[in-house]
Structure 1
Amino acid sequence: MADFRPVTEDISVAPQISVDDVEEAARQGFRTIINNRPDNEEPGQPSGHQIEAAAKAAGLAYFHVPVRGSPTPEQVETTNRILAEAPAPVLAYCRSGTRSITTWSLGQAVSGARGRDELKALGRQAGYDLSGVLG
């Protein structure tokens, strides 16, 4: 069942999505999916290839930026580039959504697009505590 958590007009995050959730994302107007979850992290999770195939079938752009633990500067930069170039709105997901919102928020902070207090407030509204990441 889809648990898409809006962060801004242009991005939402979610815990692990299913192939059926991709179809629901397309129905809700999402145009891009970012998968922040490494394959084989947990038994039974859909593979990135399965989600990518479903995204393409639904007419959505798909990107895989697997994050283990804290995102690296390269992963943050890659995500910023995707968000600047890919059609919005974007749905980013991982196991719980935490790595997705963390990667996005660090990119926003580094680029100066949003301040730390605003990012922490947006995180809280989406159900995530970013105080440990953003200070």
Structure 2
Amino acid sequence: MSEFHRVTERLSVAPQLAPEDMAAAAAQGFKRVVCNRPDGEGPGQPTGAEMKAAAHAAGLEFVHIPFAGMPDAATADAVFAAVSGAAGPVLAYCRSGTRSVTAWALGSLRAGDHDREALVALAAGAGYDLSAVLPRPM
């Protein structure tokens, strides 16, 4: 089972999940799973369709917003909306969790939900260093 890293009350992130992790996520109170990993990115990785089926079987919503590298503005906004628009806590995942927390943080920054310093601190509390990727105020 993958480890879930809590960023905020509404968001936790994780490295690559497996279909069997969906029941554990539901048992921990998550309502939605967001996958930020493109299909076929790594060997043995479950597809988005497999993960969606497992999530639905566990009673979870599933949103697939795949991207590689740094997210563009539209992707960051979509990830932030998927988290903020959920009916409860969200678990987002990618290969390591970094891509998911980065996209959410950039979307949060663009929405004015948190400032840069708060986002860096929230990510650090979950074990991710965003100090080099979040834009500094002018």
Query: Which TM-score band applies after superposition, normalised by the shorter structure?
Result: over 0.9
Matched with 2:18 is: 18
Residue 99 of structure 1 deviates from its aligned partner by 0.4
Provide the alpha-carbon RMSD of the alignment: 0.9
Aligned equivalent of 2:125: 125
Q: Distance in 1 between matches of 2:66 and 2:27?
A: 25
1:81-135 deviation per Cα after TM superposition (whole angstroms, max 9, x unaligned): 2223222200000000000000000011111110111110111111100011114
1:14-51 Cα deviation digits (max 9, x unpaired): 00001111110001010000000000001101111111
CA distance in 2, matches of 1:44, 1:34: 19
Whole-angstrom distance in 1 between the partners of 2:92 and 2:83: 10
- Tell me what 1:113 maps to: 113
Counterpart secondary structure, 2:63: strand
Task: Give, in whole Å, the separation in 2 of the partners of 1:109 and 1:41.
Answer: 28
Which whole-Å deviations, capped at 9, do the CAs of 1:65-96 have from their partners, x for residues lacking one? 00110001111121222223222200000000
Q: Percent identity?
A: 50
- How many residue pairs were aligned? 135
Q: TM-score, normalization: structure 2?
A: 0.94
- Distance in 1 (CA, whole Å) between partners of 2:78 and 2:9 is 20
Contact 1:2 1:24 in 2 (8 A): no
TM-score, normalised to structure 1, is 0.96
Amino acid at match of 2:2: A
2:61 maps to 61
* Equivalent-residue separation in structure 1 for 2:126 and 2:83 (angstroms): 19
Task: Determine the structure 2 residue equivalent to 1:5.
Answer: 5
Structure 1: gaps spanning 5 or more residues: none
Tell me if structure 2 keeps the 8 A contact 1:17–1:93. yes
Unaligned 5+ runs, structure 2 = none
Secondary structure, in 3 states, of the residue corresponding to 2:22?
helix
Instruction: Return the alpha-carbon distance in structure 2 between the equivalents of residues 13 and 85 of structure 1.
Output: 16
C-alpha distance in 2 between matches for 1:80 and 1:130:
16
Asked if 2 retains the 8 angstrom alpha-carbon contact of 1:35 and 1:94, the reply is yes
In the TM superposition, structure 1's runs of 4+ consecutive aligned residues that sit over 3 Å from their partners are none
Give the secondary-structure state (helix, strand or coil) at the position aligned to 1:133.
coil
